[in-house]
Structure 1
Amino acid sequence: VRAVLDADPALAPAYAAVRRAVDTAGAEQRVADTAALEALLGRGLRISPTRFEKYQSCPFGYFLQYIIKAAPRKKAELAPNISGTLTHWVLENALRRRGEAFKTLTPEEVEALVDALVDEYVAENLPGMTVRMDYLIGRIRRNLVGLLGFIQRDLRQSGFRPVAFELRIDDRPDAENPDAPRIDPVQLADGAGHTVRIVGTVDRVDAMPLEKRGKTYLRVVDYKTGGKEFKLKEVYYGLDCQMLLYLFTLERNAQEAFPGATAAGVEYLLADPAPESVDRRELTEEADPAPTYPMNGLLLDDESIYRAMDTKGTGEFVPLSFSAKTGKVLNSKSTLADEAKLGRIRDHLDGLLIDMAENLYSGRIDAEPLCPGGGKSPCTYCDFRCACAHRDGEHERTISIKDDPFAE
């Protein structure tokens, strides 16, 4: 069959492309016509942190998904992932609509607020729910009551207060709400006439002004459903860096909105943690049933700042552990960073963004999957595996550096 088609390729119009893919298997994937590529990209990249992480995970996967807009076939069925979007929406609107009064709500008022917001979201976005979805909504309701109670306890004791929700980082007005607050993205140049900017939406920004220092300390908070562990060695490779990219943008470009804007840190609030097993012998009528939610992230190594986030030093509201005897912070190397270290992280991420622009505009889009140590290759769950000439074990990058690559 191959001999026949080689002699007369017109018999199968797609044969030439298939043969070309076979003949070049294992070779570097590259765009030869960079002028055509630039016509697709434009002179500047405007990318979200998610797209940036996709590129770092595999340049060829990024090229297929975001440049030539390839997409896998999907079944025509309704299978919404409502847990994350509903949780985000309720948390945003509960704090936004109640403002400072949120801290003083009674448990009954919190529960009523959750019910009202969930009902509003369901009516607008989920008509005709199935029995399974109705059960899932009930589970989300119960978790949200506990989660909002936890956020209440946090805000009551914290020196930081929420000042922005769903804050857009973009140089273009929102088409639906052009007057909505936004912060311009940082623009970086590759030295060849191209620019790259990170755009997106910040879940929540907390602030603590210190007039005597002439600074406003900013903390970016991100709600995550499911497990999440913040690791600096992944940040080094351009992964798990969304909040840091947003924080560094605010520090540089939000001086008008927050005078003296200074990075105070980033925190993941795990909004739907797995239930912990508890020994029945430990349960008493006096036991506090209020749930706690784990924190992950990176904070400024300034005791007056991280103590303002957890004034009693319980470790409940920050990703830190405190000694019961001395009150000192324990094992903080991976969760605290001084201003110099934050600067090194910021400059490194800027460098990765510039490298991305340089590589894309020069046509370098090879399939070089980044495989975290002990984790699965992104090829395992890649939508484009059937269209990629990459062979398992070839041109793969691994995360093999030390846990804190930004330490001096």
Structure 2
Amino acid sequence: MKTISGLNYTLKIKELIKNTINEAQKNIFDNYYFIVDDPLFFEEAFFKYTDTLFNIRIITYNTLINNLLNHYQIYNQQKLSKLETILMIKQIIETNNYIFNTNNKMELIPEIINILELFYLEELDNPDIETLPDLSKQKITTIIDIYKQFKLATPKDKCFQYEDLLFNHFNDSLKNNHYCFITEKIFTKHRYRLINQLASISDVTILMNNSDDNRDLNKPFINYYDKDNDIIKDDDLYLNHLNTYTFSLQAPKFNDQSPLYKIAQTTPKAEIESVILNIYQDIVDNQTHYHDYAIYYPNHEYKMLLINTLEQFNIPHNLNKSLIFKEMNACLSFLKYKINKQKDDLLDLLDSRMLKKFNDLNYLDRIKKNYLENNVLDDPFSNYDFNQCVTLNDYVKIMLEFIDQEMITNENVITLINYFKEFQSTQEFSLSDFYILIKKTKPELKEDKKPCNDHLYLLNYDQCYSGILDCKKIYLTGVNETVVPLQFKDTGILLDQDLKSLKLPDLSYQIGSNQNNILKALNSNNNYLVISFANASIDGQPLLKSSLYNQLNNMFDIKNIDISKDYLHQSLKKNLYLKGQQDSKQTALNTMIDKYIQSRNQPGTLTTPLFSNYLSASKLETYNGCPYKYYNQYGLKLYPFKKPSFQTNEIGSIVHYVLEKTKELFNQPVIDVDTLPDIIEKYVNKYIDNNELNDRLNDYNNIYIIKTVKQDLLNTIIVLNQQLQASDFEIVGSEIEIKRKYPDFNFTGIVDRVDQSDNYLKIIDYKSSNKDLDISLAIQGFNIQMLLYLDTLASKQQLDLGGLLYFNTKKRILASSLKITEEESSENFFKQYRMNGYVNEEVVTRIDNEFERNSNIIKARYVKKDDCYKGNILSSFALKRLIDYVTGHIEKLYDSLSHGNIQIAPKGSDDPAIFTKVNPCTYCNYRAICNFDVFYNEYTLVNNENLEYLIKEGEDNAN
């Protein structure tokens, strides 16, 4: 057996290819086999030196084994399938109740199988584990027991791997065969022993990519390297320097020019675009071909970036994309729903559009809307009951029935049916184990696409073939720390110390193998090789340049590629706009941009009125906050989907309804607190029934909200009763409709509660949150609703202004300084429920005729030295003038509204506290529509000054 060593990977293979072609032409009756991992690439390499492969076969290692089995007519045993192996290991673990017999055993079994395969390939039966910690001993002893049980349980007509069947079968019938192995799959004890037996009969050559130093990159071959191996060296000074020092602790400078270039970009996406555009520009400039270029990618993310970008640029390449197996994903969603009973999983299944009854988009939208708004989603698959399933066959039967009855038939469904039909076993399964089994064994779909004759080569770092394909320019992408070289983690069933003890491939072996492949890629071209990396991830996290790049930068002069000179491909013309330029062909887009700049992101003035003859206070307040929000909400009538949870306005409606129905209790001298919860329960349930809201109580969040509302109402009714007992005011109306005619429009609204004492009128607004009246902001149009209601009612009934108050129905948490054994006073409780708002100074004692110093009903206190009341109190004059200011302000609002002004001009303030009160943007449903642009749009700033002086008697009217 001849072994060829050295690190000149490309040179060695090219020499082998040329020698094989020459020998095959001389010995036409001999058979020459190249055993490789990717035959198609090697076939292409061969055809660069010959027109025919008459007696040369390029095959994989597995194909070689199958060919030898056929040659010796060994058909008495078949290799265990993946499913059979999984089922056997599962049975062994459960029967012996090994430590892996946990709820996630199906997740562990594929890794256990890989370990057993390592045991087999490295001929590991009774390893010495005495030096390991107890936990490692227990774990490895269990795996060894599983391995022994597995070998005993393997049926006589089956085998774990095929190699065992070939030992001691080789004879002179193979003496005219020549085998050349260019694959690292043979570097295990078991396979290497088999190759040695083959070499006793046939001519065998093995290619080994290593050197005789102690770098990690040599570790995959350390047990198979012999100093007597043939070593091929290259006369190229650059490659010799590269191969001698890369991944070593030394990095002496190479004095001559190197073929290395670099591309540094902001993100991986930008990196890939620059690489491809650099290639595209080179093709345009030098009239080269796509097959002159190869790009290496490190992982799936880079692979998909490359495929998507190349397809966007319409550049041919050699890869076939993995397709989404939607039918399989639908089956997994079905199983996941049956396990977790989560409606989101059911919605994913319905939304897959793989089901016969749920393929209409409009119908699906209605289902989703009903789910989002009402949390209602019926289960159309309740007839598929997995509860009765015991064996794997039982589960498969239901799945096949589901596929047949529910899924749209197509070619993929046929693949799906055939896949499930292979799952035949009477072994017991749980639904969760069945779900994981499907996840672990599901087939992968690939697009059926033949590569063009001239195409770009996309290779991963395990496919270092760009050299033998004679690519003129090579690009290594993703050269960032932890990516290239790859960072390996000490995780898994067997940790690094376990692997070292068992003499199995450990972390240093994996690191060495990765470094070896990277060096192969670096060896593939000594004329032009580009190293590219990104400075940040797509989400803005910084990325470091790879230690490999830093070492190469110390060893060689790496020239920078100016990415600013990249050719601007047609599909990237949008980049012009990022640079403040325009594509002359995009006339519509250019017109829109010009209009946007000219208008400064402001809509034009409307010519059609935005309202009917009736305006409410909430509409006026909305327009006051932002005209454009008013335009979307009341002009275009754009409303967001309702959320399944009860919203603030819905909770308010329930509270208002119950307080309306229980208002007679407010006047009773004493409330029966024992029966009150039942009364509240009755009216809350009645409201829910009348408004068909029972389905929404399937949502646990809503159940909690209703429970909280009932508790809040209990306290609210008790407090309202006590407040009326201490007041001279009486309730004269609730849910009173307000109508008022202004010169050009009608004003409407509803007052929650109206109280009267002699000639004074007081109104109360029930709120489920804390709300107050800020006089300075009211003068500027904020929270004017209650002022307008009070003025309208008092004017209509020719009564005096008594006050406007807000009652917060939310339950309070008392702050107390008492010991836990001391009883809290009722005064502290009722004080927590004091109402916000303002009252006429003439009715303070009418509202609360029991307080001496501080009121428990309103925010007012008696100041003895001044012999007056202070707090949220206004004179009749101040109340009237405040209303006059509000009336004047709404006339201005109406004038602006009637002239079609819908500017993006939300209110704001330089004072953060006031900004929070007046700015409508934070919770606005239309932010994505207005796209408030800080370069063009501005906040309409309110006056931050205290404007209360304007309503004092003796001040000139500012209007």
Same fold, judged at TM 0.5 (above):
yes
Matches within 5 A, 1:285-304: 285=823, 287-288=825-826, 290-291=829-830, 292-302=832-842
Letter in 1 for 2:757: M
Give SS of 1:272's match: coil
Equivalence for 2:776? 233
Give SS of 1:340's match: helix
Which of 249, 254, 264 pairs up with 2:802?
264
1:110 deviates by: 2.8
- For the pair shown, which has the larger CA radius of gyration, 1 or 2? 2
Task: Name stretches of at least 5 consecutive residues in structure 1 with no aligned partner.
Answer: 10-14, 170-183, 190-194, 210-215
CA distance in 2, matches of 1:101, 1:330: 27
Using a 3 Å threshold, how does the CA distance of structure 1 residues 283 and 149 change in structure 2: closer, same or farther? farther
Using a 3 Å threshold, how does the CA distance of structure 1 residues 100 and 273 change in structure 2: closer, same or farther? closer
State yes or no: 1:198 paired with 2:747: yes
CA distance in 1, matches of 2:944, 2:889: 18
Equivalence for 2:694? 127
Letter in 1 for 2:657: W
Which of 365, 388, 407 pairs up with 2:930?
388
CA distance in 1, matches of 2:685, 2:928: 42
Matches within 5 A, 1:312-351: 312-313=850-851, 314-323=854-863, 328-329=867-868, 331-332=870-871, 335-351=872-888
Cα offsets for 1:314-362 (capped at 9, x unmatched): 4111221234x67955543xx2222221221121111122112211222
Matches within 5 A, 1:1-400: 3-4=583-584, 6-7=586-587, 9=588, 15=589, 18-19=592-593, 22-26=596-600, 29-31=603-605, 34=607, 37-38=608-609, 40-41=610-611, 44=613, 46-72=614-640, 74=641, 77-81=643-647, 82-95=650-663, 98=664, 102-125=668-691, 126-128=693-695, 129=697, 130-169=699-738, 184-185=739-740, 187-189=741-743, 195-209=744-758, 216-253=759-796, 255=797, 260-281=798-819, 284-285=822-823, 287-288=825-826, 290-291=829-830, 292-302=832-842, 305-313=843-851, 314-323=854-863, 328-329=867-868, 331-332=870-871, 335-372=872-909, 373-374=911-912, 375-376=915-916, 377-388=919-930, 390-392=932-934, 394-400=938-944
Give SS of 1:164's match: strand
1:67 deviates by: 1.6
Using a 3 Å threshold, how does the CA distance of structure 1 residues 131 and 385 change in structure 2: closer, same or farther? closer
Letter in 2 for 1:64: N
**TM-score, normalised on structure 1?**
0.78
Letter in 2 for 1:127: N
Judge conservation of contact 2:803–2:839 (CA < 8 Å) in 1: yes
Judge conservation of contact 1:21–1:389 (CA < 8 Å) in 2: no
**Where is the helix percentage greater, Structure 1 or Structure 2?**
2
Stretch moving more, 283-292 or 397-406: 283-292
Using a 3 Å threshold, how does the CA distance of structure 1 residues 99 and 285 change in structure 2: closer, same or farther? closer
Which structure has more RCO (C-alpha within 8 Å, separation ≥ 6)? 1
Equivalence for 2:94? none
Judge conservation of contact 2:803–2:840 (CA < 8 Å) in 1: yes
1:294 deviates by: 2.7
Give SS of 2:760's match: strand
Letter in 1 for 2:660: E
In the alignment of these two chains, the number of paired residues is 356
CA distance in 1, matches of 2:626, 2:735: 28
Using a 3 Å threshold, how does the CA distance of structure 1 residues 145 and 30 change in structure 2: closer, same or farther? same
Judge conservation of contact 1:244–1:266 (CA < 8 Å) in 2: yes
Equivalence for 1:173? none
CA distance in 2, matches of 1:281, 1:142: 25
Using a 3 Å threshold, how does the CA distance of structure 1 residues 280 and 18 change in structure 2: closer, same or farther? farther
Cα offsets for 1:216-246 (capped at 9, x unmatched): 2110101111222321112111111111110
Task: Name stretches of at least 5 consecutive residues in structure 2 with no aligned partner.
Answer: 1-572, 574-581
Using a 3 Å threshold, how does the CA distance of structure 1 residues 122 and 328 change in structure 2: closer, same or farther? farther
Cα offsets for 1:117-147 (capped at 9, x unmatched): 2232233333131333222222222221111
Letter in 2 for 1:60: Y
Using a 3 Å threshold, how does the CA distance of structure 1 residues 267 and 396 change in structure 2: closer, same or farther? same
Give SS of 2:787's match: helix
Identity of aligned residues (%): 22
Judge conservation of contact 1:25–1:389 (CA < 8 Å) in 2: no
Judge conservation of contact 1:25–1:390 (CA < 8 Å) in 2: no
